[in-house]
A and B are shown apart, each in its own frame.
Chain A
Amino acid sequence: MAVVRLAQHLQRHVPHVEFRVSGATVREALDAVFAQCPTLRGYVLDDQGAVRKHVAIFADNELLNDRRMLTDVIGPSTEIYLMQALSGG
């Protein structure tokens, strides 16, 4: 199963550390996470279901390519990190 880990900054608002879920894409994995924790969705995705402008998602240390549909393919043991993007200065 893929592991989805939350950055510490995100844990402050959503009291979870990680989830173990299945899915063939980042979207499927995150949908499984959101099914367990609906509140988290609005912290990671915007109203249109795209990744929030200031959120970064890594899958096996690679930044997500498809920030709108989250179609990046993952494997059965992929580690996904949900983090705040560095922006500004």
Chain B
Amino acid sequence: MADTIHVSTRKGLVTARRQSGEWRIDPKIDFLGQPISLSLHDPRSGYSYACVNLGHFGQKLHRTRDGGATWEEIAPPAYPPQPEGVEDICPMRKTPIPWSLQMIWSLETGAEDGQLWCGTIPGGLFVSRDHGDSWQIVESLWNRPERKKWFGGGYDYPGIHSICVDPRNRRHLSVAVSCGGVWHSTDDGATWEGRAQGMRASYMPPDLADDPDTQDAHRMVRCPGQPDRLWVQHHNGIFRSDDNAMTWHDCPNGLPSTFGFAVAVHPRNPDRAWFAPAVRDEVRVPVDNRFVVSRTDDAGKTFQVLGSGLPEPPGLHLVYRHGLDVDDTGDVLAMGSTTGSLWISENGGDHWERLSAELAPIYSVRIC
């Protein structure tokens, strides 16, 4: 069972540990005062990575091999030179898309030891084969003509926030883009095909709403035990795929809403998934100001509202796309909010305990 949670916050990397059966927050905070957008632990190499987004001075990447006792800064992914005369324009805003790293938005382990995938804003996927010592942009995706249709959702530019490697064959992977649909590769990123058929975008004109290349997937996860099952929390609903993202099915019965950012799926039971619902678009608060988690146990036919241990209304907590995670037993869940609260459940979400309400805004939680 998991005993460590890395919590990426606006003011540093917080670690929660289970000691003698009780979860406690480690008094030592790494990168204190610095915004951490994401972390990753690679159990194969023992490396942990922290994405430090300094704003003024750009996106940085650090790694440790001794559990955070010492960190070393490594070069983050860099975009290739933009050729003279080549325009790259956001179709929605008609503004130039910079060929420059704005933010690391996803980081996952790849097929080989030392291989990492990194999704970025604007719209980039990078690969490293040496534990992050060097990075190469995946040109086969960057050069797809459909990328010209991608645009930013919550950020100014499009970005890749979800990378789902297939455990049956780790050279197979799917990535999700906000706003640019889902892309699938069966050859370790050499070639790609769009796989967002079935999603629907109500923020587009009706005739364009079904275009797979402009779908705003907020977060995508894959069930490790049944990898053909993927879940997407989309801007306009909850979608489920039973065929490795070939087709997507709307699950309109989400309670108390189908809007949100985060989704987590049980490691073996593909029909069980968790969501953190909210009121959509410009409001982005819990429905009726009551902060809850919802869970489906039947592949999205019905949903159960889980509120035990969560605060009474009004509670204006919001969970970002990387703010909900489940461990490899499927019992332990961790959830962090933009309001700086960290909750743990040890029974699949039936009951939650707030470990802290005193943290900075939380961007990501990772159970490891």
Contacts and interface: CB of A to CB of B under 8 A. Distances in A.
B78 interface: yes
Interface of B: 54-58, 60, 73, 75-76, 78-79, 81-82, 98-101
B73 A46 contact: no
Contacts of B98: 46, 48
A24 B236 CA distance: 56
B75 A47 contact: no
B84 to A, nearest CB: 12
A81 to B, nearest CB: 14
A47 B79 contact: yes
A52 interface: yes
Contacts of B73: 39
Interface size of A as a range = 10 to 19
B75 A48 contact: no
10 contacts: A10-B57, A13-B57, A42-B57, A43-B57, A46-B58, A47-B78, A47-B79, A52-B58, A54-B55, A54-B57
A89 to B, nearest CB: 15
A73 interface: no
Nearest to B52: A13
Given A39-B73, A42-B76, A48 B99 contact: yes
Contacts of B79: 47-48
Contacts of A52: 56-58
Contacts of A44: 57
A70 interface: no
A59 to B, nearest CB: 19
